[in-house]
Amino acid sequence: MNDHLIILIRSFSAFIILMVIARALGKQTLSNMNFHDFVTAVILGAIAANFAFNEKIEVAHLLIALSVFTITSYILSKLFLKFRKFKMWTEGTPTVLIEGGVILEENMKKII
């Protein structure tokens, strides 16, 4: 088969698989993404991109890698909902920079 056609098929397959995983993990907009969601999206995208362009990667290996990250992400999401302290420990807490129209300079020093 032509190399270009193989890459086309593998790319399309990776896209479809990522769409299914994204649907399974739930809808999340970029503005509502937390650190965990961002890392998961980057990793899943990198795995899919490698599959699309690296013909040495087998489909079974792709499915195993995507499954591990999908299941891990799903479990972490459930743990974050159930254990608020676990989420705060892994993601940290937000720092208030402006309160009542006043810039909190002490908090500004914390983020630098």
pTM above 0.75, yes or no: no
Give the Cα separation of 4 and 102 in Å (integer).
Answer: 58
Q: Which two tokens stand for residue 8?
A: 């086309």
Domain range enclosing 67:
3-111
Q: What's the domain count of the chain?
A: 1
Nearest residue to 15 (alpha-carbon basis) of 64, 66, 69? 66
Mean pLDDT by runs of 10 across the 112 residues of the chain is 77 79 66 72 84 83 85 84 77 78 80 62
Identify the pLDDT of residue 66. 84
Copy the structure tokens of residue 75.
């479990």
Cα–Cα distances (Å) from 104 to 61, 76, 111, in that order, read 50, 33, 12
**Quick one: pLDDT at residue 28?**
58
Query: CA-CA distance, 28 to 87, in Å (whole number)?
Result: 17
